[in-house]
Amino acid sequence: MSFATDLTRSPCKQKIHDVVGIGFGPSNISLAIALLEMAPELEVAFVDSAPGFGWHKGMLFKNATMQVSFLKDLASFRNPRSHFTFVNYLHTKGRIAAFSNKKDFFPGRLEFHDYLSWCAAEFSDQVFYGHRVVNISEGGVDGDGSPLFRVEMQVGDTTTSLLARSLVHSLGLEPQLPGNVQAGERITHVHHLLAHLQDTPLKPDGHCVVVGGGQSAAEAVEYLLETHPAMRVTAIMARYGYTPADDSPFVNEIFNADVVDDFHAAAPHVRKHILRTHASTNYSAVDMALIEKLYRNWYDDEVSGQQRLVLERMSRLQSAQVQDTQVQVTFARQMSNEVQTLACDYLVCATGFRPRSIASVLSPALAARLIRDEGMTRVSRHYRLAFQGDAAPLLYSTGVAEDSHGLSATLISNMAIRAGEIVDDLKVALKRRHYEQAI
């Protein structure tokens, strides 16, 4: 589900907003909910470059499921009585009994996207779509002498700006292609797969290559094989096979909100050890049920003599070149040290994501004031970026906090609690700046 928006609307230039959120994906929707419930007196606005709400729309495969419990929605862990819980969404849609009959904690991704859209629609008066932030600079001072931000935005062919006492930057993750691969008509990142296939449909009996060994790669393989029964798929992966995600109960507690306290207080070498040791909870790992399903289908094809899925194990992509209507894919088999080239109709790179950094839109003056530790921007326990100087601006960023806050920093599992922590910190900081009367 998505909804159209009025792209002619823009925030008032003269008004000073208490809080401006950059981006309106799940993280800042959760923040909007927390602000409404915890600090409704604040003047709030959100800006997003997209024409309307959408979350990983290119990966909304029919059979794809969430890897987190429905209870880890945008509000429940912070406020289980919230209007914005997934349970209330089900009640509103008339599906709460049917959902419970499934005996499943993990909703489909299509349904969860509809839940997110349902939440986002409640804030249509606060959100300004089609506004791409191009520069964040110091915007003078407020009446009490505290610093302001000036946020400059591109809206179509024009520019506009707004003033804010605080910013929360949550632009999420951006897809990452291998260094020598360029997206094109026949090459795409899995993040854009469904949208891309609308423009360049696949041949029903074509050949597709999927690079990667994580959840999105396995989901793309399943989708291609199920929607195109005559298609062949070659899966190139760096491991011997799809590796199960570690979602065992004790290890899964690493995503609990209180673990963030311990992680943030730990020594840097301990943090690195935790991230490295438990990477399989989130990175390059696949839900066991999906692995077993792919293996059963692979085995059935083996029996029938119509092998549609070929695994190029322990292999790494080297290059991809489009020639006429085909893609020449070159990869190295690590075990035999062979280099192979195969021709396919389409290449899908499920090669991960990286956080969208705020550094690219910060003015040089603001960027120079950021405090860094071992090259990483220092982030407070409440996700506030640290600046040099006494009058430090209130700038929060959630996408750069994995090294300081742990594996849950970029995931949905802790968003509800995190949003509440940011709002708590904002309220205290704004009070210190002489807003007692307003707050």
The pLDDT of residue 377 is 87
Mean pLDDT by 10 residues, the chain (439 residues): 54 86 96 98 96 93 92 97 98 97 94 98 96 94 88 94 95 88 94 91 93 96 95 96 92 91 93 92 91 96 94 96 94 96 96 86 93 87 90 87 88 94 95 55
Secondary structure (3-state) at 317: strand
> Strands 19-22, 166-169: parallel, antiparallel or unpaired by DSSP?
parallel
Phi (first) and psi of residue 288, to 5 degrees: -60, -40
Query: For residues 12 and 187, what is the distance between their CA atoms, to the nearest angstrom?
Result: 41
What string of DSSP letters covers 378-425? PB-TTSBBPBSSSS--EEEESTT-HHHH-GGGGSGGGHHHHHHHHHHH
Q: Which three-class secondary structure state does DSSP give residue 354?
A: strand
What local confidence, expressed as pLDDT, does residue 410 receive? Answer: 81
Collect contacts of 386-393 with beta carbons under 8 A, ≥24 apart.
391/141, 391/145, 391/146, 391/147, 392/147, 393/138, 393/147, 393/149, 393/166, 393/167, 393/366
Q: What are phi and psi of 4, to 5 degrees?
A: -75, 150
* CATH domain 175-245+283-353 topology: FAD/NAD(P)-binding domain (3.50.50)
What kind of fold does domain 16-172+356-432 have according to CATH? Answer: FAD/NAD(P)-binding domain (3.50.50)
Which pLDDT value is given to residue 13? 72
Domains 16-172+356-432 and 175-245+283-353 agree in fold: yes
In the chain, where are the structural domains located? 16-172+356-432, 175-245+283-353
Distance, CA of 223 to CA of 60 (rounded, Å): 10
pTM for the model: 0.92
